[in-house]
Amino acid sequence: MSDQNVSHVPVEEWAALVPELMVSDLARSLDVYTRLFGFTLNYTRPGFAYLSLGRLQWMLEQVHDKAWMTGPLTPPYGRGINFQMQVPDVRAIYDRLLAEKYPIFVPLGTTVYLEGETEHRQREFLVQDPDGYLLRFTD
């Protein structure tokens, strides 16, 4: 990553909600998010990256002393939250992680969620990113 603002793949439509995660090692997180999770790097500026995967948009920011933090960051980050992300090919991401021997938090399976009497089925698995944020990839 450079010390300049760089547009890699322009964002065509901005998402209404975009999580911004503080990370301990931006270069390592970018490698995992792009190479293993399949995100596209849209743009960067010093200490910051904006990514997308299908309709998902995501921000990563290197921890620094002026960051908006409500308390100390201690691993694993993001305790108490998981991010469900609907992706174009959940199996491809899962297989890529297995091939890299990346630790899986919950293996790929089919889960049924009820909405009243209506059953919603989705294939999903959970994995932690390098800082411990819990990610739930679904189809």
User: For residues 54 and 80, what is the distance between their CA atoms, to the nearest angstrom?
Assistant: 25
User: Which residue segment(s) compose the domain that 53 sits in?
Assistant: 6-65+81-138
The Cα-based distances of 112 to 86, 115, 116, 117, 126 in angstroms read: 15, 10, 12, 12, 15
pTM (2 decimals)?
Answer: 0.89
Give the model's pLDDT for residue 3: 61
- Of the pLDDT bands very low, low, confident and very high (cuts 50, 70, 90), residue 62 is very high
CATH of the domain at 105: 3.10.180.10
User: pLDDT digits over 67-121, tens only?
Assistant: 888 888 899 999 999 999 999 999 999 999 999 999 999 999 999 999 999 999 9
User: pLDDT digits over 5-52, tens only?
Assistant: 787 888 888 999 999 999 999 999 999 999 999 999 999 999 999 999
Whether residue 76 lies inside any domain: the answer is no
Whether residue 111 lies inside any domain: the answer is yes
Whether residue 100 lies inside any domain: the answer is yes
Whether residue 1 lies inside any domain: the answer is no
Whether residue 72 lies inside any domain: the answer is no
Whether residue 70 lies inside any domain: the answer is no
Looking at the structure of the chain, the number of domains it has is 1
